[in-house]
Protein backbone atom coordinates (compact mmCIF):
# COMPACT_ATOMS: atom_id res chain seq x y z
CA UNK A 1 0.00 0.00 0.00
CA UNK A 2 1.49 3.33 -1.05
CA UNK A 3 1.76 6.18 1.41
CA UNK A 4 -0.94 8.14 -0.39
CA UNK A 5 -3.44 5.31 -0.23
CA UNK A 6 -2.53 4.61 3.33
CA UNK A 7 -3.10 8.23 4.20
CA UNK A 8 -6.48 8.18 2.56
CA UNK A 9 -7.56 5.06 4.42
CA UNK A 10 -6.35 6.66 7.61
CA UNK A 11 -8.44 9.77 7.04
CA UNK A 12 -11.50 7.66 6.35
CA UNK A 13 -10.95 5.59 9.44
CA UNK A 14 -10.48 8.64 11.59
CA UNK A 15 -13.65 10.25 10.27
CA UNK A 16 -15.62 7.06 10.76
CA UNK A 17 -14.17 6.51 14.19
CA UNK A 18 -14.85 10.02 15.33
CA UNK A 19 -18.49 9.59 14.44
CA UNK A 20 -18.94 6.12 15.76
CA UNK A 21 -17.10 6.39 19.00
CA UNK A 22 -18.04 9.93 19.98
CA UNK A 23 -15.86 9.84 23.02
CA UNK A 24 -16.81 10.24 26.63
CA UNK A 25 -17.87 13.67 27.65
CA UNK A 26 -17.59 15.07 31.09
CA UNK A 27 -19.64 17.97 32.15
CA UNK A 28 -20.29 19.87 35.31
CA UNK A 29 -18.77 22.85 37.01
CA UNK A 30 -15.39 23.92 35.89
CA UNK A 31 -12.78 25.88 37.75
CA UNK A 32 -13.97 24.63 41.11
CA UNK A 33 -11.39 24.13 43.81
CA UNK A 34 -12.77 20.81 44.95
CA UNK A 35 -12.57 17.63 42.95
CA UNK A 36 -16.02 16.82 41.52
CA UNK A 37 -18.00 13.69 42.33
CA UNK A 38 -18.30 11.86 39.04
CA UNK A 39 -21.27 9.79 37.92
CA UNK A 40 -20.72 7.55 34.90
CA UNK A 41 -23.11 6.03 32.39
CA UNK A 42 -23.55 4.97 28.83
CA UNK A 43 -26.71 5.99 27.02
CA UNK A 44 -28.41 5.26 23.73
CA UNK A 45 -27.89 8.67 22.19
CA UNK A 46 -28.04 7.40 18.62
CA UNK A 47 -29.65 4.33 17.14
CA UNK A 48 -33.23 3.23 17.53
CA UNK A 49 -33.44 4.02 21.25
CA UNK A 50 -31.80 7.41 20.87
CA UNK A 51 -34.99 9.32 21.48
CA UNK A 52 -35.35 7.89 24.98
CA UNK A 53 -31.63 8.11 25.72
CA UNK A 54 -31.47 11.79 24.88
CA UNK A 55 -34.44 12.65 27.08
CA UNK A 56 -32.84 10.75 29.97
CA UNK A 57 -29.60 12.63 29.47
CA UNK A 58 -31.45 15.93 29.66
CA UNK A 59 -33.24 14.86 32.87
CA UNK A 60 -29.90 13.93 34.45
CA UNK A 61 -28.36 17.19 33.36
CA UNK A 62 -31.23 19.11 34.94
CA UNK A 63 -30.80 17.10 38.12
CA UNK A 64 -27.07 17.80 38.32
CA UNK A 65 -27.65 21.48 37.63
CA UNK A 66 -30.20 21.59 40.46
CA UNK A 67 -27.71 20.00 42.86
CA UNK A 68 -24.75 22.08 41.72
CA UNK A 69 -26.84 25.24 42.10
CA UNK A 70 -27.40 24.24 45.70
CA UNK A 71 -23.66 23.83 46.23
CA UNK A 72 -23.19 20.28 45.05
CA UNK A 73 -23.08 17.05 47.00
CA UNK A 74 -20.96 16.88 50.14
CA UNK A 75 -19.80 20.35 49.16
CA UNK A 76 -18.36 19.03 45.93
CA UNK A 77 -19.71 19.63 42.43
CA UNK A 78 -21.26 16.68 40.62
CA UNK A 79 -20.14 15.75 37.16
CA UNK A 80 -21.56 13.39 34.55
CA UNK A 81 -19.27 11.19 32.46
CA UNK A 82 -21.16 9.53 29.62
CA UNK A 83 -20.69 7.60 26.42
CA UNK A 84 -22.98 6.81 23.52
CA UNK A 85 -23.65 3.08 23.26
CA UNK A 86 -25.52 3.49 19.93
CA UNK A 87 -28.51 1.53 21.27
CA UNK A 88 -26.27 -1.49 21.05
CA UNK A 89 -26.29 -3.56 24.23
CA UNK A 90 -23.12 -5.38 23.24
CA UNK A 91 -21.13 -2.16 23.55
CA UNK A 92 -22.36 -1.58 27.08
CA UNK A 93 -20.19 -3.95 29.19
CA UNK A 94 -17.02 -2.51 27.71
CA UNK A 95 -18.12 1.03 28.36
CA UNK A 96 -18.98 0.31 32.01
CA UNK A 97 -15.70 -1.48 32.59
CA UNK A 98 -14.00 1.59 31.19
CA UNK A 99 -16.08 3.94 33.33
CA UNK A 100 -15.26 2.03 36.50
CA UNK A 101 -11.64 1.02 35.95
CA UNK A 102 -10.24 3.71 33.65
CA UNK A 103 -12.36 6.78 34.28
CA UNK A 104 -12.69 5.74 37.94
CA UNK A 105 -16.11 7.33 38.36
CA UNK A 106 -17.49 7.48 41.90
CA UNK A 107 -20.94 6.14 41.02
CA UNK A 108 -22.73 4.80 37.99
CA UNK A 109 -26.17 5.14 36.48
CA UNK A 110 -27.53 2.40 34.27
CA UNK A 111 -27.89 2.73 30.51
CA UNK A 112 -31.38 2.83 28.96
CA UNK A 113 -33.55 -0.20 28.35
CA UNK A 114 -33.65 -3.83 29.43
CA UNK A 115 -30.97 -5.31 27.14
CA UNK A 116 -28.40 -2.64 28.00
CA UNK A 117 -29.18 -2.67 31.72
CA UNK A 118 -28.90 -6.44 31.84
CA UNK A 119 -25.65 -6.30 29.89
CA UNK A 120 -23.96 -4.03 32.43
CA UNK A 121 -25.38 -5.79 35.50
CA UNK A 122 -22.48 -8.27 35.88
CA UNK A 123 -19.98 -5.40 35.68
CA UNK A 124 -21.82 -3.47 38.38
CA UNK A 125 -21.96 -6.59 40.56
CA UNK A 126 -18.32 -7.43 40.04
CA UNK A 127 -17.27 -3.99 41.29
CA UNK A 128 -20.02 -3.83 43.92
CA UNK A 129 -21.42 -0.63 42.45
CA UNK A 130 -24.80 0.80 43.35
CA UNK A 131 -26.77 0.37 40.13
CA UNK A 132 -29.82 2.54 39.64
CA UNK A 133 -31.76 1.21 36.64
CA UNK A 134 -33.41 3.36 34.03
CA UNK A 135 -36.34 1.65 32.39
CA UNK A 136 -35.85 -2.08 32.42
CA UNK A 137 -38.25 -4.99 32.65
CA UNK A 138 -37.28 -7.34 35.46
CA UNK A 139 -33.61 -6.93 34.67
CA UNK A 140 -32.71 -8.32 38.07
CA UNK A 141 -34.63 -11.57 37.68
CA UNK A 142 -31.55 -13.71 37.03
CA UNK A 143 -29.10 -11.71 39.10
CA UNK A 144 -30.93 -10.79 42.32
CA UNK A 145 -28.40 -8.02 42.84
CA UNK A 146 -28.95 -6.29 46.12
CA UNK A 147 -27.97 -2.81 44.94
CA UNK A 148 -29.98 -2.76 41.72
CA UNK A 149 -32.75 -0.20 42.03
CA UNK A 150 -35.19 -0.02 39.17
CA UNK A 151 -36.57 3.46 38.67
CA UNK A 152 -39.49 2.36 36.57
CA UNK A 153 -43.15 2.60 37.43
CA UNK A 154 -44.28 -0.93 36.70
CA UNK A 155 -43.69 -2.60 40.04
CA UNK A 156 -43.12 -6.28 40.79
CA UNK A 157 -45.74 -7.51 38.29
CA UNK A 158 -43.89 -5.66 35.50
CA UNK A 159 -45.37 -5.64 31.97
CA UNK A 160 -47.48 -8.60 32.92
CA UNK A 161 -49.30 -6.07 35.07
CA UNK A 162 -50.23 -4.01 32.01
CA UNK A 163 -52.27 -6.91 30.70
CA UNK A 164 -54.11 -7.06 34.02
CA UNK A 165 -55.10 -3.40 33.67
CA UNK A 166 -56.29 -3.95 30.12
CA UNK A 167 -58.37 -7.04 30.74
CA UNK A 168 -59.68 -5.72 34.04
CA UNK A 169 -61.00 -2.68 32.15
CA UNK A 170 -62.58 -4.93 29.54
CA UNK A 171 -64.24 -7.05 32.23
CA UNK A 172 -65.65 -3.93 33.86
CA UNK A 173 -67.84 -3.49 30.77
CA UNK A 174 -69.89 -6.38 32.09
CA UNK A 175 -69.96 -8.03 28.67
CA UNK A 176 -69.53 -11.79 28.58
CA UNK A 177 -67.78 -14.21 26.23
CA UNK A 178 -65.26 -11.74 24.94
CA UNK A 179 -62.65 -13.07 22.52
CA UNK A 180 -59.05 -11.92 22.61
CA UNK A 181 -56.35 -11.35 20.01
CA UNK A 182 -52.78 -10.92 21.25
CA UNK A 183 -50.14 -9.44 18.95
CA UNK A 184 -46.69 -8.43 20.07
CA UNK A 185 -43.30 -7.57 18.69
CA UNK A 186 -40.88 -10.45 18.41
CA UNK A 187 -38.43 -9.34 21.08
CA UNK A 188 -37.93 -9.69 24.83
CA UNK A 189 -40.53 -7.02 25.56
CA UNK A 190 -43.14 -8.56 23.29
CA UNK A 191 -42.53 -12.02 24.69
CA UNK A 192 -43.09 -10.83 28.25
CA UNK A 193 -46.18 -8.88 27.28
CA UNK A 194 -47.69 -11.89 25.52
CA UNK A 195 -46.89 -14.12 28.48
CA UNK A 196 -48.55 -11.68 30.86
CA UNK A 197 -51.55 -11.38 28.59
CA UNK A 198 -52.02 -15.14 28.47
CA UNK A 199 -51.90 -15.35 32.27
CA UNK A 200 -54.35 -12.51 32.58
CA UNK A 201 -56.71 -13.96 30.01
CA UNK A 202 -56.74 -17.23 31.91
CA UNK A 203 -57.48 -15.40 35.14
CA UNK A 204 -60.53 -13.70 33.65
CA UNK A 205 -61.67 -16.77 31.74
CA UNK A 206 -61.45 -15.14 28.31
CA UNK A 207 -60.91 -16.97 25.04
CA UNK A 208 -57.80 -16.35 22.93
CA UNK A 209 -58.53 -16.53 19.20
CA UNK A 210 -55.25 -15.13 17.89
CA UNK A 211 -51.76 -15.01 19.38
CA UNK A 212 -48.73 -14.14 17.29
CA UNK A 213 -45.55 -12.09 17.18
CA UNK A 214 -44.38 -9.90 14.34
CA UNK A 215 -40.71 -9.40 13.35
CA UNK A 216 -39.30 -6.20 14.85
CA UNK A 217 -39.08 -3.09 12.74
CA UNK A 218 -38.03 -2.49 10.10
CA UNK A 219 -38.57 -6.10 9.04
CA UNK A 220 -42.27 -5.39 9.18
CA UNK A 221 -43.03 -2.37 7.07
CA UNK A 222 -46.60 -3.16 6.20
CA UNK A 223 -48.88 -4.14 9.07
CA UNK A 224 -52.10 -4.44 7.09
CA UNK A 225 -51.76 -8.20 6.46
CA UNK A 226 -51.24 -9.02 10.13
CA UNK A 227 -54.02 -6.70 11.25
CA UNK A 228 -56.29 -8.20 8.61
CA UNK A 229 -55.48 -11.66 9.95
CA UNK A 230 -56.51 -10.45 13.42
CA UNK A 231 -59.63 -8.81 12.03
CA UNK A 232 -60.53 -12.06 10.36
CA UNK A 233 -60.76 -13.77 13.75
CA UNK A 234 -63.30 -11.14 14.82
CA UNK A 235 -61.65 -10.73 18.21
CA UNK A 236 -63.45 -8.32 20.58
CA UNK A 237 -60.30 -7.31 22.42
CA UNK A 238 -57.08 -6.57 20.58
CA UNK A 239 -54.16 -6.53 22.98
CA UNK A 240 -50.91 -5.24 21.50
CA UNK A 241 -47.35 -5.23 22.82
CA UNK A 242 -45.40 -3.06 20.39
CA UNK A 243 -42.44 -0.74 20.10
CA UNK A 244 -43.04 2.77 18.80
CA UNK A 245 -42.89 2.19 15.05
CA UNK A 246 -45.15 -0.83 15.38
CA UNK A 247 -47.55 1.13 17.56
CA UNK A 248 -48.03 3.82 14.95
CA UNK A 249 -48.26 1.38 12.06
CA UNK A 250 -50.68 -0.99 13.81
CA UNK A 251 -53.03 1.84 14.74
CA UNK A 252 -52.98 3.10 11.16
CA UNK A 253 -53.47 -0.38 9.76
CA UNK A 254 -56.52 -0.96 12.02
CA UNK A 255 -58.06 2.23 10.74
CA UNK A 256 -57.29 1.32 7.14
CA UNK A 257 -58.70 -2.17 7.18
CA UNK A 258 -61.66 -0.93 9.21
CA UNK A 259 -61.08 -3.17 12.22
CA UNK A 260 -62.80 -1.86 15.33
CA UNK A 261 -62.32 -4.13 18.32
CA UNK A 262 -64.23 -3.20 21.47
CA UNK A 263 -60.99 -2.44 23.29
CA UNK A 264 -57.69 -1.92 21.51
CA UNK A 265 -54.16 -1.33 22.70
CA UNK A 266 -52.57 -2.18 26.02
CA UNK A 267 -48.81 -2.38 26.07
CA UNK A 268 -48.11 -0.19 23.05
CA UNK A 269 -45.01 1.86 23.73
CA UNK A 270 -44.14 5.18 22.19
CA UNK A 271 -47.48 6.81 22.97
CA UNK A 272 -45.83 9.09 25.51
CA UNK A 273 -43.59 10.73 22.91
CA UNK A 274 -44.71 14.01 21.45
CA UNK A 275 -43.59 13.08 17.94
CA UNK A 276 -45.78 9.97 17.91
CA UNK A 277 -48.75 11.62 19.58
CA UNK A 278 -48.80 14.45 17.08
CA UNK A 279 -48.28 12.00 14.25
CA UNK A 280 -51.34 10.01 15.27
CA UNK A 281 -53.57 12.84 16.47
CA UNK A 282 -57.26 11.92 16.08
CA UNK A 283 -56.31 8.34 15.21
CA UNK A 284 -55.64 7.87 18.93
CA UNK A 285 -59.28 8.39 19.82
CA UNK A 286 -60.56 5.29 21.57
CA UNK A 287 -57.12 3.65 21.72
CA UNK A 288 -55.88 2.41 25.10
CA UNK A 289 -52.30 2.26 26.31
CA UNK A 290 -50.32 2.08 29.49
CA UNK A 291 -48.87 5.46 30.51
CA UNK A 292 -46.88 6.73 33.47
CA UNK A 293 -47.79 10.36 33.36
CA UNK A 294 -50.62 12.33 31.80
CA UNK A 295 -51.92 15.76 32.85
CA UNK A 296 -55.03 14.40 34.57
CA UNK A 297 -56.19 15.74 37.94
CA UNK A 298 -55.97 12.31 39.61
CA UNK A 299 -52.22 12.22 39.05
CA UNK A 300 -50.48 13.79 42.03
CA UNK A 301 -46.93 12.47 42.02
CA UNK A 302 -44.50 14.50 44.10
CA UNK A 303 -43.56 17.68 42.27
CA UNK A 304 -43.48 16.15 38.82
CA UNK A 305 -45.27 19.15 37.26
CA UNK A 306 -42.49 21.50 38.35
CA UNK A 307 -39.91 19.18 36.91
CA UNK A 308 -41.79 18.83 33.62
CA UNK A 309 -42.04 22.59 33.33
CA UNK A 310 -38.25 22.91 33.55
CA UNK A 311 -37.77 19.93 31.30
CA UNK A 312 -40.17 21.16 28.63
CA UNK A 313 -38.59 24.58 28.47
CA UNK A 314 -35.18 22.98 27.96
CA UNK A 315 -36.28 20.17 25.65
CA UNK A 316 -37.68 22.56 23.06
CA UNK A 317 -34.23 24.15 22.75
CA UNK A 318 -32.26 20.91 22.72
CA UNK A 319 -34.47 19.12 20.23
CA UNK A 320 -35.39 16.35 22.67
CA UNK A 321 -38.91 14.97 23.17
CA UNK A 322 -40.81 18.14 24.14
CA UNK A 323 -43.35 16.47 26.48
CA UNK A 324 -41.15 14.33 28.73
CA UNK A 325 -44.04 12.20 30.01
CA UNK A 326 -42.22 8.90 29.69
CA UNK A 327 -38.64 8.55 30.93
CA UNK A 328 -37.51 11.94 32.20
CA UNK A 329 -39.31 12.12 35.58
CA UNK A 330 -38.02 8.68 36.52
CA UNK A 331 -34.54 9.36 35.19
CA UNK A 332 -34.42 12.54 37.25
CA UNK A 333 -35.60 10.60 40.29
CA UNK A 334 -33.01 7.92 39.73
CA UNK A 335 -30.19 10.44 39.76
CA UNK A 336 -31.75 12.51 42.51
CA UNK A 337 -32.28 9.55 44.83
CA UNK A 338 -28.66 8.49 44.37
CA UNK A 339 -27.33 11.97 45.15
CA UNK A 340 -29.64 12.32 48.15
CA UNK A 341 -28.28 9.05 49.54
CA UNK A 342 -24.70 10.23 49.11
CA UNK A 343 -25.51 13.50 50.82
CA UNK A 344 -27.43 11.80 53.63
CA UNK A 345 -24.77 9.20 54.39
CA UNK A 346 -21.85 11.53 53.80
CA UNK A 347 -20.12 8.63 52.16
CA UNK A 348 -18.84 7.60 48.76
CA UNK A 349 -18.82 3.97 49.80
CA UNK A 350 -21.02 1.84 47.55
CA UNK A 351 -22.23 -0.39 50.40
CA UNK A 352 -23.14 2.49 52.65
CA UNK A 353 -25.00 4.37 49.94
CA UNK A 354 -26.61 1.19 48.60
CA UNK A 355 -27.87 0.14 52.00
CA UNK A 356 -29.27 3.61 52.58
CA UNK A 357 -31.26 3.57 49.33
CA UNK A 358 -32.47 0.05 50.08
CA UNK A 359 -33.70 1.07 53.49
CA UNK A 360 -35.12 4.48 52.68
CA UNK A 361 -36.71 3.79 49.28
CA UNK A 362 -37.04 6.24 46.46
CA UNK A 363 -37.94 9.86 46.94
CA UNK A 364 -37.94 12.53 44.27
CA UNK A 365 -40.10 14.33 41.69
CA UNK A 366 -42.19 11.22 41.05
CA UNK A 367 -43.08 11.02 44.74
CA UNK A 368 -41.77 8.50 47.19
CA UNK A 369 -42.09 4.83 47.88
CA UNK A 370 -40.39 1.66 49.02
CA UNK A 371 -38.72 -1.18 47.15
CA UNK A 372 -40.24 -4.55 46.46
CA UNK A 373 -39.76 -6.52 49.70
CA UNK A 374 -39.09 -9.63 47.63
CA UNK A 375 -35.78 -8.09 46.58
CA UNK A 376 -36.42 -7.77 42.86
CA UNK A 377 -35.17 -4.19 42.91
CA UNK A 378 -38.47 -2.99 41.49
CA UNK A 379 -40.68 -0.42 43.19
CA UNK A 380 -43.10 -1.96 45.66
CA UNK A 381 -46.32 -0.95 43.90
CA UNK A 382 -47.05 -0.33 40.26
CA UNK A 383 -47.54 3.25 39.17
CA UNK A 384 -48.68 2.42 35.64
CA UNK A 385 -52.20 3.14 34.47
CA UNK A 386 -54.29 2.67 31.37
CA UNK A 387 -55.21 5.72 29.34
CA UNK A 388 -57.99 5.92 26.77
CA UNK A 389 -57.70 8.84 24.39
CA UNK A 390 -60.76 10.81 23.39
CA UNK A 391 -61.76 14.12 21.86
CA UNK A 392 -58.47 14.59 20.03
CA UNK A 393 -59.33 16.88 17.15
CA UNK A 394 -56.02 17.77 15.57
CA UNK A 395 -52.40 16.73 15.35
CA UNK A 396 -51.34 19.63 17.52
CA UNK A 397 -49.13 18.99 20.53
CA UNK A 398 -51.34 21.21 22.72
CA UNK A 399 -54.06 18.52 22.49
CA UNK A 400 -51.93 16.35 24.75
CA UNK A 401 -51.05 18.97 27.33
CA UNK A 402 -54.55 19.54 28.71
CA UNK A 403 -56.63 17.31 30.99
CA UNK A 404 -59.67 15.41 29.75
CA UNK A 405 -58.25 13.98 26.53
CA UNK A 406 -56.08 11.23 27.97
CA UNK A 407 -58.51 9.78 30.44
CA UNK A 408 -57.28 7.19 32.93
CA UNK A 409 -59.65 4.21 32.97
CA UNK A 410 -57.70 1.82 35.21
CA UNK A 411 -56.73 1.17 37.95
CA UNK A 412 -59.42 2.64 40.11
CA UNK A 413 -57.17 4.78 42.31
CA UNK A 414 -56.09 6.94 39.36
CA UNK A 415 -59.27 6.71 37.31
CA UNK A 416 -60.21 10.11 35.93
CA UNK A 417 -63.20 9.21 33.78
CA UNK A 418 -65.40 6.36 32.59
CA UNK A 419 -64.20 3.86 30.03
CA UNK A 420 -65.84 4.30 26.63
CA UNK A 421 -67.23 0.91 25.60
CA UNK A 422 -67.02 -0.22 22.92
CA UNK A 423 -64.11 2.04 22.05
CA UNK A 424 -65.13 4.76 19.63
CA UNK A 425 -62.02 4.04 17.62
CA UNK A 426 -60.54 6.68 15.33
CA UNK A 427 -63.58 8.93 15.59
CA UNK A 428 -62.92 12.66 15.48
Partner 1 sequence: MIDVILNTIVSGILIGGFYAACAIGLSISFGMLRIPNIAHPGFIIAGGFLTYYFNKTFGLDPLLAGLLIIPIFFAFGFLLYRGYNRFFESKRDEREGQMSALVLFFGVLMIIEALLSVTFGVDFRTVTTPWSSIVLHFGSVGICLRMAVPFLCSVLMVCILYLYFSKTYLGLVIQAVAQDSMAATLIGSDPRFAKSIAFGISFSTAAYAGTLFVCLVPVEPSLGMQFLGRVFSIAILGGLGSPLGTAVAGLIVGITESLTTAYIGSSWTLAVSFILLLIIIAVKPTGLFRR
With contacts defined by CB under 8 A, name the span among 27-35, 46-54, 145-153, 376-384 that binds partner 1: 46-54
d(CA 144, CA 19): 37
240 binds partner 1 (CB under 8 A): no
| Residue closest to 334 by CA, chosen among 96, 109, 53 | 109
> Using CB under 8 A, which of 8, 344, 370, 374 touches partner 1?
8
Distance CA 316, CA 324 (A): 11
Long-range contacts of range 129-132, CB-CB < 8 Å, 24 or more positions apart?
129/100, 129/350, 130/338, 130/341, 130/350, 130/353, 130/354, 130/357, 132/334, 132/335, 132/337, 132/338, 132/357
Does 12 bind partner 1 (CB under 8 A)? Our answer is yes
Q: Which is nearer to partner 1, 87 or 423 (CB)?
A: 87
127 binds partner 1 (CB under 8 A): no
Least Å distance, CB 85 to partner 1, is 13
Q: Indicate which single residue of 91, 321, 336, 399 sits in contact with partner 1 (rule: CB under 8 A).
A: 321
Q: Is the peptide bond before 218 cis (omega within 30 degrees of 0)?
A: yes
Choose the stretch contacting partner 1; rule: CB under 8 A; options: 44-52, 131-139, 171-179, 295-303. 44-52
* Residue closer to partner 1 (CB basis): 148 or 223: 223
**Minimum gap (Å) between residue 327 Cβ and partner 1:** 13
Q: In what order do the strands lie in the sheet with 107-108?
A: 25-27, 78-84, 37-43, 107-108
Instruction: Check: CB of residue 225 under 8 Å from CB of residue 231.
Output: no
* Minimum distance, C-beta of residue 138 to partner 1, in the bound complex (Å): 22
Any contact of residue 248 with partner 1 (CB under 8 A)?
A: yes
| From 127, 146, 255, 260, residue interacting with partner 1 (rule: CB under 8 A) | 255
Binding mask 395-424 for partner 1 (x = CB under 8 A): x-----------------------------
The strand pair at 263-268 and 288-291 is best described as parallel
CA distances from 385 to 30, 38, 293, 367 (A): 42, 35, 9, 16
Site for partner 1, residues 76 to 115, rule: CB under 8 A = 87
- For the chain, give the number of residues: 428
Task: For the CB of residue 227, give the shortest distance to partner 1 in the complex, in Å.
Answer: 10
Q: Which residues between 259 and 278 bind partner 1 (CB under 8 A)?
A: 270, 273, 275-276
Which residues make up the interface to partner 1 (CB under 8 A)? 5, 8-9, 12-13, 15-16, 19-20, 22, 45-48, 50-51, 53-54, 87, 183, 186, 212-215, 217-222, 224-226, 228-229, 232, 244-245, 248-249, 252, 255-258, 270, 273, 275-276, 279, 281, 283, 319-321, 395
Amino acid sequence: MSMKRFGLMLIILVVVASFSMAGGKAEGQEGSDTEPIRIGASLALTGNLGSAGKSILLAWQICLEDWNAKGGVLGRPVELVYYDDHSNASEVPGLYTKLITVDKVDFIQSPYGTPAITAAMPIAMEHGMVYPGNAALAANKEFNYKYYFSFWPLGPRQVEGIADLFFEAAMSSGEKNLTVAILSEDNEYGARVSEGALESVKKYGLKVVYNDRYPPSPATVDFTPVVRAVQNTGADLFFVGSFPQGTISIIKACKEVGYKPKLFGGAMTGVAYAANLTELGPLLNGVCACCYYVPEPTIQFGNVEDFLETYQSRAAVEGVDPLGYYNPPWAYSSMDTLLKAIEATGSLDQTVVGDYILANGWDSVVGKGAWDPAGSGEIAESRGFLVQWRGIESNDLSEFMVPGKQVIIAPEEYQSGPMLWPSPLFED
